Amino acid sequence: MSDLQPPRGTRDILPEDHRRHRHVTDTAFAIAGLYGYGEISTPIFEATDVFSRTLGETSDVVTKEMYTFDDRKGRSITLRPEGTAGVARAFISGLRSAPLPVKLYYQGPMFRYERPQKGRQRQFHQFGIELLGVDDPLGDVESITLGAHILGDLGVMDRVTLQLNTLGDTESREAYRATLVEYLQDFREQLSEDSQARLENNPLRIFDSKHKGDQAAVADAPLLSDALNESSQDFFGRVRDGLKTAGISFEINPRLVRGLDYYCHTAFEFATDQLGAQGAVLAGGRYDGLIKQMGGPETPGTGWAAGVERLSMMIAEPPLSPRPITVIPVGDETKDQALSIAQQLRHAGLAIDLGFSGNLKKRLNRANKAGAIAAIIIGEDELAKGVATVRDLETSEEAEVGLSSLQEHLARYR
RNA sequence: GUGGCUGUAGCUCAGUUGGUUAGAGCGCCGGGUUGUGAUCCCGGAGGCCGUGGGUUCAAAUCCCAUCAGCCACCCCA
């Protein structure tokens, strides 16, 4: 029994789950298409340094969450923990001469070695977009607008809030970092162990901590927003204005800090309180230095990723579509006819279930449970007359329909 | 990685102070004269009580370990 369980933090996505899963990704695909984005798939695993060099050597993802192993030739391989680094790599190796901007979306499994809990698994799925080659704040606005559009169509907008912050450009951030570290020296003793280490390598992240001592230390600390240089302030101002123009409401959250090193300027997160401790359903920001850092041409980028499982948990039950029509033969002599009628109708584009066994009562019962909208009953009586009995399973109305006009009659159920 | 809670049939759970062949509801399968769907009646399959050790004459029940789930921290989608 225990051998039959999937590995920790993974799960089988059964047909019922997939209906929700697919509804999320189908919606996202359709809307990304409306914004002119094209689909890209990158490998599920990459050379380890694709992630370790870009996400930040000290980030949690790199230090303790990656699935890394050596392949048979001793190359270090890592199952992708997120999508952006792989897409950036693909851009450099295969799309560098493409006309800018390059607008991409992707969907697929990601892997992070973490302790599972609600809304958090070791293998999970993300849908994400990347907009490459746009340094204008309008790019951030488009990216966020696209995300909001998808959340809106999924019907979850009323249960999320858009949290927005800026990390400023490199100059602003470096300057601020120095003042923050200096300020926090006096509080060193009360900081958590993790945050004491962050003092050295990523002091901004202390803002994110839920540790009481950390929060107290940071409560009256100088804010990054006060340390922004003029161009960073201007950039952020134009993002906010753009969002207002697009009619998207947001809250400024000065404590919102991205965990991955490659972010600059815009950082945002659509957050909910409905998924336990996991707040983010769609989050991202700007990453202007990433592609150059990986060895490509200097190319600005902005984008986000959304958790497919998290969104699946939030959406309403998606419609069962298409509802099938069940073909039910009565008596052994009619099976061949039933089969060929079923095939004919399937080729005409109708969703057809064939009742396999049991008496008529059982088969109608099964058709009902399968969500069928109608049943086509084919018995010897019918065949003798060259008709089939079509029973509407909603209204219970029955009609005898000539076999030749069956297809026409069923058109109402498409 | 840390801490807390949990683990009996596909699902939700019961199982007395440790005592012999471990139960219910739902679901599933079959039947109620191979022709009519949610109901009703009858029958059936399905559990080495998460796994491995230990204590005991005797363990689903007590102890230890381990695995998995849930919750929180950490962090994130």
- The interface predicted TM-score of the complex, written ipTM, equals 0.82
Q: Which residues of chain A have pLDDT under 50?
A: 1-2
Answer whether any strand B atom is within 7 A of the Cβ of A194.
Answer: yes
Q: Output the CA angle A151-A285-A44, nearest 5 degrees.
A: 80
How far is A304 from A128, CA to CA, in rounded Å? Answer: 6
Q: Which nucleotide is nearest to A124 (CA to C1')?
A: B77
Q: Which nucleotide is nearest to A307 (CA to C1')?
A: B77
Is A14 strand, coil or helix?
Answer: coil
How far is A261 from A392, CA to CA, in rounded Å? Answer: 60
CA of residue A156 to C1' of nucleotide B31, angstroms? 48
Rg, chain A, Cα only? 28
Enumerate domains of chain A plus CATH numbers.
Answer: 2-169+229-314 (3.30.930.10), 325-413 (3.40.50.800)
pLDDT on residue A333: 81
Answer whether any strand B atom is within 7 A of the Cβ of A209.
Answer: yes
How far is A126 from A305, CA to CA, in rounded Å? Answer: 6
pLDDT on residue A4: 67
pLDDT on residue A19: 87
pLDDT on residue A235: 96
DSSP A174: H
How far is A306 from A63, CA to CA, in rounded Å? Answer: 23
CA of residue A362 to C1' of nucleotide B39, angstroms? 14
Q: Going by DSSP bridges, is the β-strand pair A264-271/A38-39 parallel, antiparallel, or unpaired?
A: unpaired
CA dist list (Å): A13 to A40, A101, A363: 23, 35, 28
Nucleotides of B under 7 A from a protein CB: 1-3, 28-32, 34-38, 48, 50-51, 67-77
A259: nearest Cα among A147, A135, A112 = A112
pLDDT on residue A2: 42
CA of residue A2 to C1' of nucleotide B69, angstroms? 12
Q: How far is CA A253 from the centre of its chain?
A: 23
Q: Which nucleotide is nearest to A64 (CA to C1')?
A: B1
Question: Which runs of consecutive H residues, i.e. helices, occur in A246-396?
Answer: 290-293, 308-314, 335-347, 360-369, 380-385
Answer whether any strand B atom is within 7 A of the Cβ of A185.
Answer: no
